[in-house]
Amino acid sequence: MTGSNVFGIRDRTGFETLVRAYANDVFRYLYWLCRDRGLAEDLSQETFARAWAAWEQQRDEKALKAWLFTIARNEHARIHERRKLDIDPDAELDALASRTAADPALALDIRRAFALLPDAYREPLLLQVLGGLSSAEIAATIDATEEAVNMRLSRARKALRSLLEGEQSGSARNRETAR
């Protein structure tokens, strides 16, 4: 690979370009995983520190995004190895949803439904929606085949749709009984 590529493999400026290109996506993915802004910031920094340490060995420019998300995923897993998290998963999400969503109730329904998805479905969907990774990149990140990823994504969307339809009909029933 030559020095004329987009990110300048083995070049500090190229690494800075990589950070600017993917820092928000990595942070957003980590935030969804851990549901704690401070922890997601720390994990993002650690992700890019590890990426910098291995930057000279990186050869495939097309795999940089998947490579970063793999590092981020591993950093998140390491936090669970080191300590047990004492986080109320609903507290911060409620505050975030009420500030950023046009319809906080819908945002909460989506987050609750998302949390109900099995990890095997939730993680590929997060990588696709928040990270913008392709099926092939997701497969490389979670060490699965592309076909398995496509199946999980399809099932995740179907399950999420089903859960949301149940939430919305439940919300409508609650509104009717309140009248």
Sort residue 127 into left (φ over 0), alpha (ψ -120 to 50) or beta: alpha
Distances (CA, A) of 107 to 93, 119, 126: 9, 20, 16
61-88 per-position pLDDT tens digit? 788 888 898 899 888 888 766 554 344 4
pTM above 0.85, yes or no: no
Q: What is the pLDDT of residues 105-155, one digit of tens each?
A: 667 777 788 888 888 888 888 888 877 888 888 888 888 999 999 999 989
Report in angstroms the alpha-carbon separations of 15 from 7, 8, 58, 160: 6, 7, 11, 36
> 40 and 49 in contact (C-beta within 8 Å)?
no
- DSSP characters for 97-122? HHHH-SSHHHHHHHHHHHHHS-HHHH
Listed residue (117, 157, 123) closest to 138, CA to CA:
123
Residues in the chain: 179
What are the structural domains, with CATH classification, of the chain?
A: 1-87 (1.10.1740.10), 91-179 (1.10.10.10)
